Amino acid sequence: MRRPSILAGPGWLMLAGLIWLLCHNTVRADDAAPAPLPADYAGLLAALPQADYADKAQIVHNLAVLAAPHTREVLAALHDGRLETRQGDGKLFLVEERGDALALTDAVSFAAAGEGKPDDFERVRTNNALRRAIEVALAQLDLGDTSPKVRAAAVRQMRQHLDEDLESALRQRRGQEQDAGVRHQIDLALAVADLGSGDAAARLAAVRALDGETAPDVYNALAPLAGAGGAAPTESDPQVLAAAIAAVRHIQNWRDFYGALETLFFGLSLGSVLVLAAIGLAISFGVMGVINMAHGELMMLGAYTAYVMQQLMPAHPGAALLLSIPAAFLVSGAAGVVIERTVVRHLYGRPLETLLATFGLSLVLQQLVRSVFSPLNRSVVTPQWMSGLWQVNELFSITWIRLYIVIFMLLVFALLWLVMNKTSLGLKVRAVAQNRGMARAMGIRTERVDAMTFGLGSGIAGMAGVALSQLTNVGPNLGQGYIVDSFMVVVFGGVGSLWGTLVSGLSLGIVNKLLEPYAGAVIAKILVLVFLILFIQRRPRGLFPQKGRAAEGM
């Protein structure tokens, strides 16, 4: 795509024909040699399907050296398994699926060649080693690209598979390269090559050049010299050895730093999930004192809302997902209001009984979802703009989805905080929570406020469910896995405290991820649970306990 086509189709055809003739002559001349490879583009391509993997790699290499105008596209197609031979005449085509048919592009002329039936074509087979050879060949081709970015990426690619050919290609390129950034990349690659040089001075210069580079392949090239990881160092010259050890230590420091950063971020994103799951509970349990065991199922309803919205708008999964956030709030919120009016209302002041009744409701909701949507998991599509990685540098990358979850959690938290502290509903909710009788005496319709509060907590759970639909399977059991965790988060943070919920969710997430490398995921989780059990013994009212008379009665 990037590459402008130099030769138009027909002109290229003539040239190919000419080379084809030449090729026939050369083949005849070398009759004695054991099956030599053709030297021209079309001939090389024609030999490709029947060759064994070693020959294929050689053909790929030769094609890259020839650098015909469409070599790049053809090699890319071979790499991705889109290069196929037509049964019958054995001609090679780049294919692209178009409905049931294949759109064809002739590999030699690179002209569109109509459509074909998939059954008539056979893919040119590749294996891992061959695909790696293709990647190197593509990088070699990219070395001549007009964009410095592409050239730099090509150099990095080549650095990981250095051999004499690539080294000399890089040295050649070094002379003519105009862009300073690409030159630096080439110097690094050549330095990696020089690490194996017989000259101690060259090795020393190479080690110094690589000092502070964070790329994993540079580290892997340097580490044996310095004898990292308990192995005996392969470097014999003391000066080079000292420099190599220093360089490895620097790189190790950076790796540790980014490793810690990554752990922190993983912890933050896990913590965000915990906060999202718990924050609705912080309202219904924390403010109203209702133990809502159906909280997980309200999240599940939110996740299913996302699924239904995407089914309604199959063409726009991203927009459907965004719309499902308010929709899930409404669906789960409405379910919450109904639950409050029909069940919870009868059980105020008897927290243990609400626990049992809402647990019954959770069973009913699970079975309802099973009856309506089937017991199987449903998949919610992740929109394009949420998938993939943000590669900050070679050692540190962030999946977009985790970043969005953190942002979404902060937004939900901010929204809830505003509702609770800046709206009249929030004022009434807090008033009823602090002193029901007094609030009623001031003219607040406590029954209405109860329903709205429970609905708010449930609606937030629904929004959390939309976020969860991007992380886990959407199935009838989605909610169950979060119920113990969310109660722990609320209790750890201090019942009735939104900030406490935020702090406790995030810190539990980070602690969990910090423990994981040492203890494994399951043990880490068990340790966190044991820690929480012990913590509650010390401070039964959590990190941020509610103060005042109202808190005593709970």
Residue type, 482: Y
Contact characters 431-470, other proteins, x per CB under 8 A = ----------------------------------------
Smallest gap, in angstroms, from Cβ of residue 479 to other proteins? 12
Rank residues 183 and 525 by Cβ distance to other proteins and give the closer one.
Answer: 525
Residues forming beta bridges with residue 102, ordered by sequence position: 97, 116
The residue type found at 19 is: I
Q: Which of 392, 407, 530, 550 binds other proteins (CB under 8 A)?
A: 530
- Say how far apart CA 160 and CA 66 lie, in whole Å: 22
The reply on whether position 208 binds other proteins by CB under 8 A is no
Q: Can you tell me which of 401, 529, 543, 551 binds other proteins, judged by CB under 8 A?
A: 529
* Interaction pattern, residues 368-407, with other proteins; x per rule: CB under 8 A: x-xx------------------------------------
Region binding other proteins by CB under 8 A among candidate stretches 240-248, 405-413, 484-492, 504-512: 484-492
Q: Looking at beta carbons only, is 232 or 534 nearer to other proteins?
A: 534
Helix H or strand E segment including 545: none
Q: Rounded CA gap, 299 and 366, in Å? A: 11
Candidates 525, 543, 545, 551; binder of other proteins (CB under 8 A) is 525
User: How far is the C-alpha of 11 from the C-alpha of 34, rounded, in Å?
Assistant: 33
Which token pair is 521? 């995921």
Q: Between 254 and 285, whose beta carbon lies closer to other proteins?
A: 285
Total residues in contact with other proteins, by rule CB under 8 A: 43
Residue placing its CB nearer to other proteins in the complex, 180 or 534: 534
Which of residues 269 and 366 has its CB atom nearest to other proteins in the complex?
366
Q: Please tell me the distance from the alpha carbon of residue 21 to that of residue 15, in angstroms, as a whole number.
A: 10
Q: How far is the CB of 439 from other proteins (least distance, A)?
A: 23
- Could you tell me the smallest distance in angstroms from the CB atom of residue 360 to other proteins? 3
Nearer to other proteins, 116 or 351 (CB): 351
Cα separation values, 406 from 24, 121, 280, 410, 508, Å: 64, 47, 16, 6, 15
The reply to whether 482 sits near other proteins by the rule CB under 8 A is no
Span from 49-57, 216-224, 510-518, 519-527 in contact with other proteins (CB under 8 A): 519-527
CB burial class (10 A; 0-12, 13-18, 19+) of residue 25?
Answer: exposed
Q: What angle do CA 33, 37, 39 make, to 5 degrees?
A: 115
- Three-state SS for 27? helix
Which residues neighbour 207 within 8 Å (Cβ) at sequence distance 6 or greater?
191, 195, 222, 225, 240, 243, 244, 247
Q: Are 472 and 355 a contacting pair, CB within 8 Å? A: no
Which residue number, 105 or 366, has a Cβ lying nearer to other proteins?
366
Q: Enumerate residues 272-301 that contact other proteins by CB under 8 A.
A: 291, 293
Residues contacting 433, CB < 8 A, separation 6+: 287, 288, 496, 550
Q: Does 19 bind other proteins (CB under 8 A)?
A: no
- Residue 417 interacts with other proteins (CB under 8 A)? no
How far apart are CB 230 and other proteins at their closest, in Å?
Answer: 26
Instruction: Give the span between the Cα atoms of 493 and 281, in whole angstroms.
Output: 12
Report the 10 Å Cβ neighbour count for 225. Answer: 25
| Closer of 253 and 367 to other proteins (Cβ) | 367
Our finding on whether 334 is near other proteins (CB under 8 A) is no
Q: Which amino acid is at 511?
A: V
Determine if 129 is a binding residue for other proteins (CB under 8 A). Answer: no
Query: Which of 321, 361, 451, 506 contacts other proteins by CB under 8 A?
Result: 361
CB of 291 to other proteins, least distance (A): 6
Q: What angle do CA 246, 250, 256 make, to 5 degrees?
A: 140
Q: Where are the beta strands (DSSP E) in 312-393?
A: 389-393
Residue listed under structure tokens 């927009």: 319
CA atoms within a 13 Å half-sphere pointing along the CA-CB vector of 39: 12
468, 404 Cβ separation under 8 angstroms: no
Q: Is 536 in the site for other proteins (CB under 8 A)?
A: yes
Please tell me the distance from the alpha carbon of residue 540 to that of residue 320, in angstroms, as a whole number: 43
**Which 487-506 positions form the footprint of other proteins (CB under 8 A)?**
487-488, 491
What DSSP character marks residue 163?
Answer: -
Cβ neighbourhood burial of 271 (10 Å; 0-12, 13-18, 19+): buried
Q: Which of 112, 364, 407, 550 is close enough to bind other proteins by CB under 8 A? A: 364
In angstroms, give the least distance from the CB of 331 to other proteins: 19
Among 176, 236, 384, 537, which residue interacts with other proteins (rule: CB under 8 A)?
Answer: 537
Question: Are 456 and 283 in contact, with CB atoms under 8 Å apart?
Answer: yes
- Measured CA to CA, the distance from residue 354 to residue 364 in angstroms comes to 15
CB of 311 to other proteins, least distance (A): 23
- Span 341-360, contacts to other proteins by CB under 8 A: 343, 346-347, 351-357, 359-360
In the complex, what is the shortest distance from the CB of residue 357 to other proteins, in angstroms, rounded to a whole number? 4
**Pairing state of beta strands 83-86 and 92-98?**
antiparallel
Q: How far is the CB of 541 from other proteins (least distance, A)?
A: 9
Separation between Cα atoms, residue 253 and residue 364, nearest integer Å: 54
Q: Quick one: which segment of 62-70, 219-227, 422-430, 529-537 binds other proteins (CB under 8 A)?
A: 529-537
- The binder of other proteins chosen from 483, 502, 503, 515 (CB under 8 A): 483
Query: 526: which DSSP letter?
Result: H
Q: Residue 65 or 364: which CB sits closer to other proteins?
A: 364
The residue range among 19-27, 55-63, 205-213, 476-484 that interacts with other proteins, by the rule CB under 8 A, is 476-484
**Closer to other proteins by Cβ: residue 398 or 536:** 536
Burial of 43 (0-12, 13-18, 19+ CB in 10 A): buried
| Binding stretches for other proteins (CB under 8 A) | 291, 293, 343, 346-347, 351-357, 359-364, 366-368, 370-371, 480, 483-484, 487-488, 491, 522-523, 525-526, 529-530, 532-534, 536-538, 540, 554
